[in-house]
Amino acid sequence: MITGERVDLKPFSLDDLEFLYRWNNDPDYAGEYEPPEQATREELEEWLLEKKPGQRWYIIQTKQGLGVGQLVAKEKEDNTIQIGYRVTPPARNKGHCTAAVRTVVNYLFSETDAERITAEANPRNAASIRVLEKVEFTQTCYKEKAVEINGVWMDGAVYEIKKSDWL
């Protein structure tokens, strides 16, 4: 468990199966900027049991233990870690995601060899960009046609924060 000021990050476990099944199958959870990820309970259980080298998956929890989203940190080359996150629709616009990103950045820079953390957001996803900017990420590049969702190509904005800037 990674403890933050406002939220905690609990590593995924089989205990999270119902949370993941409920939300990963809800199209509003992915929203218009992410591809939907429909999965059966059995597929999710198998996925939870699978070892994922270089990946850390967390449930974002309030201090009361309520799951409000998920966050992933994937190791890339050159001491870079890429993060991604989602928050459940009822928990949006309450600061949970910003708190989770701040918590994971602090953890990754203090507990790993990461020199840089990156994230990618759709340029029209103002909420996601606001999260990154509040945690002091800066945009480093723009990708045209970064991801296809329901037959529509969407752009991506890449953001990063360096360990030297964080400390």
Asked if pLDDT for residue 35 goes beyond 90, the answer is no
Alpha-carbon span 76 to 95, nearest angstrom:
27
CATH number given to 2-166: 3.40.630.30
Q: What is the DSSP string of 62-118?
A: ETT--EEEEEEEEE-STTEEEEEEEE-GGGTTSSHHHHHHHHHHHHHHHHS--SEEE
- Beta-strand relationship, 67-75 and 55-62: antiparallel
User: Residue type at 72?
Assistant: V
Q: Which residue has the higher pLDDT, 74 or 151?
A: 74
Single pTM value for the model: 0.92
- Per-residue pLDDT of 94-104, as tens digits, reads 999 999 999 99
In the prediction, which pLDDT does 136 show? Answer: 96
CB of 62 within 8 A of CB of 99? no
Q: Where are the domains of the chain?
A: 2-166
